[in-house]
Amino acid sequence: MQKLLDMEFTARKIADILKGTVIGDDNVMVSRISKIEEGEKGSITFFANPKYTNYLYSTRASIVLVDNNFVSEYPLQPTLIKVENPYVALAILMEFYNNVKDNQGISELCFVAKNAKTADNVFIGAFTYISENVVIEKNVKIYPQVFVADNVEIKENTIIYPGVKIYSDTKIGKNCIIHAGTVIGSDGFGFAPDSNNNYVKIPQIGNVVIEDDVEIGANVTIDRATIGSTIIRRGVKLDNLIQVAHNVEIGENTVIAAQSGISGSTKLGKNMMVGGQVGFAGHLKVADGVKIGAQSGINSNVNQENEVLFGSPAFKLSEYKRSAAIFKNLPELRKQVLDLENQVRELKKIIENK
């Protein structure tokens, strides 16, 4: 059971937020979110998957979000709120909660440099450090124990969760979300061997630019560019535990699942979908709309838009499926080849004896 708000809300108020229609008691009150199978009085839940139909008729939740086309087969106890998409509606409701929470003001236990600029309605939590020449626009929320280095810009409505480290000169756009433990702007992995095979560090003097509406998961690392910028374009969504190396560019609305790694100077197109644990070699270009299956390895350019790839090294999914049908039978095929070799040897002996 999850706390929804620090105050109760009526079904009518929630329907107004979600632009939904109330079926039942407009005035029923809720203050918590629950799973449909664990619903209790005073909670709101949602019904979006037919396999949970039985729970819909047994739940004790006070309000259930349902699809606009839902028709009840049996009498229902909860009040219903009909919406276009119950799952999306729940997300909107939780976002509303985040926006109305009483997280405003600057904690006395944080440090803000005198020449840093903070707009109205900013929240900065305890033990956060805001360095010289930082610009923080309105409605930004920065949770405790965040470090923001010199010359960073954070635009309006962005949320930065605890423990994030943002190195100097980083630019972060509007409506971004950066989850706990992420490091933005650390040095790229740049070293040059000298004549004695010692590695000399190459200074990383670029920055990171994150455009609007980007969400970055927990414990992601995004390296600053050697020269120029590492760029995360508008609408990108990064899962937890992703490595983005120096001078990488990720195109608009591309989504990447956990534990993927992108080597230096690789350029990913827009509207891509990348599965978990995918590895990209450096200095590659991948076309728009490409989809890559989990644990694949990309070691050359992908020039065809909307290609679907799988494997390591990755190739077309259709070809991979045909190949998989073969290599899963390799033990039996090997046995057949060995048997044939034996038969050929026996035939040779027979022919030679004749």
Q: What residues act catalytically?
A: 246
What is the DSSP code (8-state) at residue 198?
P
204's tokens: 């990383």
Q: Which of 258, 277, 100 is nearest to 179 (CA)?
A: 258
Q: How far apart are CA 253 and CA 258, in angstroms?
A: 16
Q: How far apart are CA 143 and CA 271, in angstroms?
A: 31
What is the DSSP code (8-state) at residue 217?
-
For helices 86-100 and 11-18, give the axis angle rounded to 10 degrees: 100
What is the DSSP code (8-state) at residue 138?
T
Q: How far apart are CA 160 and CA 142, in angstroms?
A: 5
Q: How far apart are CA 280 and CA 299, in angstroms?
A: 6
Rg (CA), the chain: 28
Q: How far apart are CA 227 and CA 224, in angstroms?
A: 9
Q: How far apart are CA 126 and CA 120, in angstroms?
A: 18
For helices 317-327 and 330-353, give the axis angle rounded to 10 degrees: 50
